[in-house]
Amino acid sequence: MQETISDIKTKSGPKGRPEIDPEICKGCGLCIPSCPKDVLSISKKTNSQGIQFSEYDESGNCIACKNCAITCPERAISIYKFVEEE
């Protein structure tokens, strides 16, 4: 049975993590409000072009919903889902 986003939100712990390529990210910030768990922010660091890029808060509770990746106009975000061991 396929889990819905609301099913995933009710479980504790991160379900995955976004990986943001800082060299592709243009720092537009569109991904930040798209995240239902509020785990993204603009970094204080800059990339080689001097742009502050989006970053994932490692202490966050990502649910791997892919909203950030879908919203990103530069396709700078990949989502990696964690596999549950049984």
- Mapping DSSP onto H, E and C, the string for the chain reads CCCCHHHHHHCCCCCEEEEECCCCCCCCCCHHHHCCCCCEEEEEEECCCCCEEEEECCCCCCCCCCHHHHHCCCCCEEEEECCCCC
Q: What is the pLDDT of residue 12?
A: 73
Q: What is the pLDDT of residue 58?
A: 87
14 in Cβ contact with 62 (< 8 Å): yes
List the chain domain ranges. 20-78
Q: What is the pLDDT of residue 30?
A: 98
Q: Under CATH, which number does the domain 20-78 receive?
A: 3.30.70.20
Rounded CA-CA distance 9/39 in Å is: 14
pLDDT in tens, the chain (86 residues): 444 554 444 467 899 999 999 999 999 999 999 999 999 999 999 999 999 999 999 888 999 999 999 999 999 999 999 987 76
